[in-house]
């Protein structure tokens, strides 16, 4: 019996439509990367190949400062959100308990709520608490936003584990901590690493939430790029975007490959 995919491609117009969608999505990205090597100061007018704009990016103190802020926030959000996501996944996989369905829905809620709503709600929350906007508020907002991205790969990994492994460890007189450290953790580690990578890249690329909750001196790289675009698109903007794109692709690919490793 042919698969669903094979049956789908038999319909006229499906293949051209799919290719048109891919071209629409990825051709602008390819053009951006190509123009980042443009020697001309006008971003859209090609006159020759050059690495000058990448060198200018690496020599720009403001860009380096924004990059440092992004890396600090992304690293902190990744560590904290992955830690809590692992605890949440272990609790959800431990067995049925009252309110489990509600808790599971709450863990995935940030994925469903529009990001602009999360940004405005976070801003109002911090103002109500009297917190000064800065890297700390950005970090807190990113931890909450990244939590489901770290949680889902870990939860999926736990669902694929054989529960008899923990029972065997208990039969061998291992404590719950020993069973977790020597049996469960090594088996779910690819899921933990995959979730951490997703959380890192989501935090690194986030603009909307950061734009609302960042104060003076807390400009991250996406916010800085937005500020440059408001003054006009230059090959320097293309170079920054291309570098950010390459980092994002690398982490997504690594997350996918690590998450697919067999238990």
- Per-residue pLDDT for the chain (263 aa), expressed as one digit of tens each? 445 555 666 666 777 888 888 888 888 888 888 888 877 777 666 777 878 888 888 888 888 898 899 999 999 999 999 999 998 888 887 767 777 778 777 877 778 888 899 899 999 999 999 888 889 999 999 999 999 999 988 888 887 776 667 667 766 666 677 777 777 777 888 888 888 988 998 998 899 999 999 887 788 888 888 888 777 777 778 888 888 888 888 877 777 776 666 65
Residue 85: the pLDDT is 92
Cα 253 from Cα 258, distance rounded (Å): 9
Q: How far is CA 56 from the centre of its chain?
A: 27
Residue 139: the pLDDT is 94
**Residue 234 in contact with residue 28, Cβ under 8 Å?**
no
Tokens of 22: 């891919």
Cα 195 from Cα 193, distance rounded (Å): 5
Q: Cα–Cα distances in Å, from 102 out to 91, 92, 98, 211, 251?
A: 13, 11, 9, 30, 31
Residue 125: the pLDDT is 92
pTM of the model: 0.79
Residue 260: the pLDDT is 66
Domains and CATH numbers, the chain: 4-35 (no CATH), 52-259 (1.10.3720.10)
């Amino acid at each position: 019996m042919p698969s669903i995919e094979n049956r789908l491609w038999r319909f006229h117009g499906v293949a051209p439509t799919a290719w048109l969608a891919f071209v629409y999505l990825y051709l602008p990205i390819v053009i951006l990367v190509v123009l980042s090597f443009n020697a001309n100061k006008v971003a859209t007018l090609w006159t020759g190949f050059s690495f000058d704009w990448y060198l200018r990016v690496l020599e720009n103190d403001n860009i380096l400062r924004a990059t440092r802020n992004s890396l600090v926030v992304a690293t902190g959000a990744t560590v904290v959100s992955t830690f809590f996501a692992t605890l949440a996944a272990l609790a959800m996989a431990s067995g049925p308990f009252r309110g489990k369905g509600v808790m599971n829905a709450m863990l995935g809620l940030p994925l469903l709520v529009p990001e602009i709503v999360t940004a405005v709600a976070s801003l109002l929350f911090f103002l109500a608490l009297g917190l000064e906007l800065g890297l700390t508020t950005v970090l807190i907002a990113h931890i909450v936003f990244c939590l489901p991205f770290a949680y889902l790969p870990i939860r999926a990994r736990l669902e694929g584990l054989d529960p008899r492994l923990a029972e065997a460890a208990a039969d061998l007189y291992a404590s719950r901590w020993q069973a977790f450290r020597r049996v469960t953790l090594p088996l779910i580690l690819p899921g933990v690493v995959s979730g951490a990578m997703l959380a890192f890249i989501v935090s690194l690329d986030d603009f909307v939430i950061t734009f609302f909750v960042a104060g003076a001196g807390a400009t991250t790289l996406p916010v800085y790029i937005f500020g440059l675009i408001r003054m006009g698109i230059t090959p320097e903007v293309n170079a920054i975007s291309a570098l950010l794109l390459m980092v994002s692709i690398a982490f997504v690919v690594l997350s996918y490959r690590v998450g697919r490793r067999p238990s």
